Amino acid sequence: MERFFIVGCGDIGKKVARIALADGAGVAALIRSPEKAESLREMGVTALEANLDERDSLAGMPTRGAVVFYFAPPPGGGVTDPRVRAFCDAIAPGEEPRKIVYLSTSGVYGDCGGDVVTEETPPNPQTSRARRRYDAETVFRQWGAERGVPVVILRVTGIYGPGRLPLQQLTSGQPVLEESLAPFTNRIHSEDLARICLAAAEHGEDGDIFNVSDGHPTTMTAYFDACADALGLPRPRRVTLEEARRVMTPLMFSYVTESRKMDNRLMREKLHVTLLYPTMQEGVRSSVA
């Protein structure tokens, strides 16, 4: 029986777990919250309550022979991910997993000026958030090489889906850039992402990197408009880049200063993925149905 160990079992982790359990796999998960752990147990998941920030709590993880899905985010601040290091350090010799699938971010490519980005595009992380993710990629690759564990990296674009639309931003009046100024952004529906994670576990090989997107870049402005239309809300007001710098949060502004068009051909071909929601319009409509 295939066994999976999900580290950081939030929305995407639960979706992966449901699919895997339905296919007859065994699923365990590392989770910090006792309440969330109980919810996972009710699903049929073996939940281990532990904290990646507390090294001693990681003893006894069920990693041996399992496929590890590492979904936990880095801590805030700095440019490294000590949680990934703690996780790797806690795996004793002889307890190695069969494979690690790491959920990274397309942000590791930095601003590409709207150019097409393939897996051959050199990483150039420009925000602390992206540097932490790239550090985690590097740690996993080095550890995997030393311990003989295949590592597959998924560079994921913006995740959307039920419960993940920008409702708060739209209802609070947060502006967006004028369409002519808006950079290209990329997305993947949460249901498709869960299926891609499992496809990476099955078909991904050591050293593989996959860009994860629906292959249809749009602007963030177009995305917010589509969400507003689907939710029956007014479209957000437009601002110039200079005004955006003044009124947007630093996190939101960082998203509108990088432009990429992600190529997902390798993901589709090697992982044999057929997307449920190949366009933003289809995915947004389904998310509010």
- DSSP assignment letter at 106: G
Query: Residue 259 is encoded by which pair of tokens?
Result: 């432009």
Q: Which residues pair with 68 in a beta bridge?
A: 5, 100
Q: At what angle do helices 82-89 and 128-147 cross, to 10 degrees?
A: 20
pLDDT reported for residue 250: 86
**Does pTM surpass 0.85?**
yes
pLDDT reported for residue 252: 86
Query: Residue 277 is encoded by which pair of tokens?
Result: 């929601």
Mean pLDDT by 10 residues, the chain (289 residues): 97 98 98 95 98 96 99 96 98 98 98 98 97 99 99 98 96 95 97 99 99 97 98 97 92 90 98 97 95
User: Domains in the chain and their CATH numbers?
Assistant: 3-162+188-214+263-275 (3.40.50.720)
User: Looking at 91-246, which runs of residues are DSSP E strands?
Assistant: 99-105, 116-117, 151-156, 158-160, 176-177, 184-185, 187-189, 209-212, 218-219, 238-239
* Of the candidates 192, 144, 138, 141, the residue with the CA atom closest to the CA atom of residue 164: 192
